[in-house]
């Protein structure tokens, strides 16, 4: 049950950050700091991976684990 709840939360968070990044990028204060520290492209890529792709991947894995264990 924990895998299900955490998986849903992770996926929703990741999807939210992807949508928010498109609609209202000024919402992400750490994004600007990362761009200053690592450069425009690298800072954006690091932020995208760490705040969107990793949560979606983790959530998908947890959901997969939950549904596989139900069989």
Q: What are the sequence ranges of the domains in the chain?
A: 2-69
Cβ atoms of residues 59 and 4 within 8 Å: no
For the chain, first and last CA: distance in Å?
A: 14
pLDDT of residue 54: 98
pLDDT of residue 50: 95
Could you say which residues of the chain have pLDDT below 50?
none
pLDDT tens digits, residue range 20-39? 998 998 888 888 899 999 99
pLDDT of residue 31: 87
Distances 49 to 14, 31, 43, 53, 71 between C-alpha atoms, Å: 10, 12, 10, 5, 32
* Collapsed DSSP state (helix, strand, coil) of residue 70: coil
pTM: 0.86
């Amino acid at each position: 049950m924990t895998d299900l709840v955490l998986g849903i939360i992770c996926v929703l968070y990741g999807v939210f950050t992807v949508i928010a990044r498109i609609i209202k990028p000024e919402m992400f204060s750490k994004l600007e700091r990362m761009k200053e520290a690592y450069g425009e492209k690298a800072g954006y890529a690091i932020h995208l991976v760490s705040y969107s792709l990793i949560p979606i991947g983790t959530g998908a894995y947890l959901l997969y684990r939950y549904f596989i264990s139900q069989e």
